[in-house]
Amino acid sequence: MKFYKYHALGNDYLVLNPADFPAQATSACKLLDGPAGNDRTPSKWGSAPPSEAEVRLLCHRHYGLGSDGILWGPVETLDNVADAVGDRAKQDNAAQPRPNGRPRMLRIYNPDGSEAEKSGNGLRIFARYLAEHGLVQGDTFTLQTVGGLARVEIIDRAAWRLCIGMGRATFASAEIPVAGPSRDVLGESLDLGRDRHFSFCAASVGNPHCVVPLPEISEELARRYGPEIETHPLFPNRINVQFMQVIDRANIRIEIWERGAGYTLASGTSSSAAAAVAHRLGLVDSQVTVHMPGGTLEINIAPDWEITLTGTVTKVSEGQLSPDLFSFLDRV
């Protein structure tokens, strides 16, 4: 039961390859019976991803390995994904031309057990894993998640600097989604009660984002209001949140609250969405450096709103999961 751990600017993920989890290798795991809906055991991991409870345990900073999510792949199919995620993915993929070569597919799980459509940092991490293990040929290939296709280019293998095609940014309410009439969601007011309001914009780069432009931002601001915005009724699928400060026409700062993960040091999709919003508002040019507590990412915005993201990946560790780990399944 092999695992690999990487981080991208402090945003850390576990890579679990289904090929390393044959049923016979995990049948000895001693699991406690979970609640209805979470009864998938590691003995089934050879053909299906871990359950929500197992994801929560693996990502737990005390009872598990600790991470901001799990990358499960490569997989042969993305069928049977969660309805709220899968319907949008089918529309996106049908609209995109297939690049040459078969995409390598993966599924992305948040630490609360929910499935994510896309992660820019996760895609870079998974791309490095595939390249290091000889699972792709060359320095240019394609990945696919339930959020769509992503082109990968490895720029520098020594520094593990990679460029990812994040897809096309959209501000359309139906695509994000945001409740209410069909519109581009720009400069709207978000009421959190207690006389607290934020002006916000919303965007999708394969997953949903709420961008709150402010003169000054802080970690405390993200931790205080991020959870309320994530679960606001205006966002039926919940939403990722960025508090954004524009430094100049080539630089922005963001503080991030990720849907299903909480406060996060860095995020590729958050950087992409925030840069796209700032560009749409006329505040920055098409080349933007996004500064986050974990580091910086370079974002390029094409005239058709196609986004490319460039950044590095660091390997942390690899090892074997102990069967004893799963005896704490009821603690998370």
Residues annotated in a binding site for substrate: 11, 110, 120-121, 207, 240, 258-259, 268-269
Q: DSSP letter at 184?
A: B
Any residues with CB less than 8 A from the CB of 149 and at least 6 apart, and which?
A: 93, 96, 98, 99, 103, 142, 143, 165, 167
Q: Where are the alpha helices (DSSP H) in 259-298?
A: 268-280
Query: Tokens 């100049």 correspond to what residue?
Result: 248
Q: How many CB atoms lie within 10 A of CB 127?
A: 26
Q: How far apart are CA 28 and CA 283, in angstroms?
A: 57
Q: Assess contact for 307 and 300: CB atoms under 8 A.
A: yes
Q: Which residues are annotated as a binding site?
A: 11, 110, 120-121, 207, 240, 258-259, 268-269
Pairing of strands 11-16, 70-75: parallel
Q: Which parts of 229-323 are beta strand (E)? A: 240-248, 251-258, 262-264, 287-292, 295-301, 306-312, 314-320
